[in-house]
Structure 1
Amino acid sequence: MARSVFGLGAASSGRSAVDEHDTQPLQSVYEQVLGPQIERLHPQLRRYFGPIPAGNEGRGRGVYSWAGPRHSGLRPVFAWLAWRHVLFPERGRSVPFTIRNRPEDDGALSARREFAFPLVTRVMEDTMRAIPVPGGRPRLVDRLGRRRGLEVELELRVHEGGLRMRSTGLWLRMRVPVAVAVLRVPLPCVVTMTLDERAHPDGDGRQCVDVRLRSPIIGDVFRYVGAFAYDVVTVSEP
């Protein structure tokens, strides 16, 4: 679900730098943040969260056993978020899903996810970045939506070969034309996002993802859960 925050589903990773004589990226955004912890991931997930070579992209296809909001009263909020390519108001079972992860030249990772409901295909877009921290490991932030106007800071942890992400901060990003700058406005964390990713227990090459948005008052407000197959291909492939 990528991997992005709302999946943000699953994700591969961007690159921190590329040698001018080598098309292989040096580190993914996840490697930069996790450091040696990444070696504790299941081999399948190490490949998934590892770097994508220049000229390639990651592609995944699968089915989510459930996708969508848990409370019908929140559908107007999710309808607005669907217009921004963040979340969506539809919900259902056995929802076909695709993802494309594209490494950017500046080391970020952009992802596009599509959920094929019977009457509409919903899109979620985001860009992951590793933000340097003086004297420490980089922070991971995910900028969501068509204009990347919502920013989420994520905490990563490896557990029993799988990866867990948890949101720790939320900001609204607004461009200020006069100052030619971006204004970051902190928002209250009314929900917490968690993402759990692991290799499929059948050992068939698929991986499982479970993304939840949870409120301390009403419980789960949005979730998608399922499995997908993933590969890295050259961009020229259809």
Structure 2
Amino acid sequence: MSSIFQRALGADFGRLHPRLRERFGFCAADRVGCVGTGVMDDIWHGSAVVVPFLHLGTARHILFPEQGSGIPFTIENYAYRDGHGRETVTFVRTFEMRPDLRRRFDATMVYSPRQYTIIDFLGTHQHLAVALTLGADRRGGLWIRTGEQRYGRRRFPAALSGRAEVHEWWDDAEGCFRIDVTVTNRFVGPVFGYRGRFTTQYVDTGTAPVPAAVRPLRENAHG
């Protein structure tokens, strides 16, 4: 079976750098997980207007208000079948903001045959469902941009929605993945973002099952 990224990207999947094809090319049947560790060179947020909303996001592991540089970072990508039988990939990002403060940004992604793209469920309870647009750049990097957002079955208000752009690529010179994430809002401008680098290790989920800690607490059937 193809990975959800192969299905969403189609022919563009073959344009990705080989290291990105490896990283985004596995599915639940492969019984593999990809765990990345590295450093975020910069984590930032926008004006004071957005800070209260970022504080609200911490309860469900969706964004957070802290800023910093040189932040230790982990990203956990595991493929599995969820309770609705959907091919699912976790994107659980952990930021060690300081010794006594750890922040998480959780997401689980599934492929939607109806929309021919990936739906990104944000947070611990999958309250927010976001349609993604994906593409490959000229050097084999991956672009991900967010589109329509829904809260349950309802469209999320544009005034409260954030538009995210994610760019991930392989740095041949440094031998690591690079990532740059920016979230903006049409009314208040920049909201949140981070950029940094990481390397990966692959784990066998046939012998070490997908950790319960990376799965959502509730699954949304209405992607």
Q: CA offset at residue 125 of structure 1?
A: 1.3
Once the two structures are superposed, what CA deviation does each residue of 1:63-108 show, in whole Å capped at 9, x if it has no partner?
0011142323322111110111111111111111001111112311
Q: Deviations over 1:29-55 (max 9, x none)?
A: 100111111011111111111114543
Question: Do residues 49 (structure 1) and 27 (structure 2) align?
Answer: no
* Unaligned ranges ≥5, structure 2: 212-223
The answer as to whether partners of 2:132 and 2:144 remain within 8 angstroms in 1 is yes
Aligned counterparts of 1:208 and 1:219: Cα–Cα separation in 2: 24
Aligned residues: 199
Q: Is the 8 A contact 1:64 1:224 kept in 2?
A: yes
Looking at structure 2, the residues matched to 214 and 76 of structure 1 have their Cα atoms a distance apart, in angstroms, of: 15
Aligned ranges for residues 61-76 of structure 1 at < 5 Å? 61-76=37-52
Contact 2:46 2:189 in 1 (8 A): no
Candidates 158, 176, 179, aligned match of 1:209:
179
Report the CA distance between 1:231 and its aligned residue: 2.3
| Partner SS for 1:81 | helix
- Which of 93, 102, 105 is residue 78 of structure 2 equivalent to? 102
What is the CA distance between 1:215 and its match in structure 2?
2.6
Aligned twin of 1:8: none
Match of 1:141 in 2: 119
The CA distance in 2 between the partners of 1:86 and 1:218, in whole Å, is: 18
Q: Spell out the pairing of 1:138-217 with structure 2 (5 A cutoff).
A: 138-160=116-138, 161-173=140-152, 184-189=153-158, 190-204=161-175, 206-217=176-187
What amino acid maps onto 2:190 in structure 1?
A: D
Contact residue 198 and residue 207 of structure 1 kept, 8 A: yes
Higher helix share: 2
Paired position in structure 1 for 2:103: 122
2:2 match: secondary structure: coil
| Residue 56 of structure 2 is aligned to residue 80 of structure 1 | yes
Task: Please list the CA deviations of residues 176-213 of structure 1 after superposition, one character each: whole Å capped at 9, or x if unmatched.
Answer: xxxxxxxx110133431111111114151x11111101
4+ residue runs of structure 1 moved beyond 6 angstroms? none
TM (normalized to structure 2)?
0.83
Percent sequence identity is 29
Q: Is the 8 A contact 1:68 1:88 kept in 2?
A: no
Q: Deviations over 1:151-176 (max 9, x none)?
A: 11110111111111111111102xxx
Structure 1: which 5+ residue stretches go unaligned? 1-25, 174-183
- Structure 1: distance between partners of 2:130 and 2:163: 10
RMSD: 1.9
- The AA in structure 1 aligned to 2:95 is F
